[in-house]
Amino acid sequence: MSAEDVSLVPVTEWAPLVPELTVQNLTQSLDVYTRLFGFTLHYTRPGFAYLSLGRVQWMLEQAGPEAGWATGPLERPYGRGLNFQIVAPDLDALHARLQGAGYPLFRPLHTATYAEGETLHTVRQLLVQDPDGYLLRFTD
């Protein structure tokens, strides 16, 4: 990644909620998010990247003294106490990429059923931690 701004794919509609994750190594995180998790890189600027996967939009920010959103000291794993549920456009392809790369799964691909009142929803899902420990729950 160069120090120059890079626009790769235009964003045609901005999501109303976009998580911004602080990361220790932006280059490493971008590699994992794009090559393994299947995100599209939309643009970068020094210390920052904007990504998407399907309708999910995501931001990554390099940790450092210029990072303006830190509310306290960062301790690994980051994001303790939450997981991000992300609908994967092709969960089987994602699973195959992760297995092929030997990327550790927090929870293997499995089927889960969740209740919404009287209605039951069954999904397949897998959980991984990104390089900084953020927990991502990919579903179909």
What CATH number has the domain bearing residue 50?
Answer: 3.10.180.10
pTM for this predicted structure: 0.89
Question: Please, what sign has the CA dihedral across residues 29, 32, 38, 44?
Answer: positive
Other Cβ atoms within 10 Å of 106 Cβ, number: 13
Q: What's the total number of domains in the chain?
A: 1
Establish if 1 belongs to a structural domain.
no
Establish if 44 belongs to a structural domain.
yes
Region 42-51: mean pLDDT is 94
Establish if 122 belongs to a structural domain.
yes
Tell how strand 56-62 and strand 48-53 pair up.
antiparallel
Establish if 48 belongs to a structural domain.
yes
Helix, strand, coil share of the chain (percent; to 5): 15, 40, 45
Backbone angles phi, psi at 83, to 5 degrees: -135, 150
Establish if 85 belongs to a structural domain.
yes
Percent of the chain with pLDDT over 70: 92
Establish if 71 belongs to a structural domain.
no
Tens digits of residue pLDDT in 84-98: 999 999 999 999 999
Establish if 101 belongs to a structural domain.
yes
Quick check: helix, strand or coil at residue 118?
coil
Q: What pLDDT does 26 receive?
A: 97
Range of the structural domain that residue 38 is part of: 6-66+76-139
Establish if 127 belongs to a structural domain.
yes
pLDDT surpassing 90 at residue 71: no
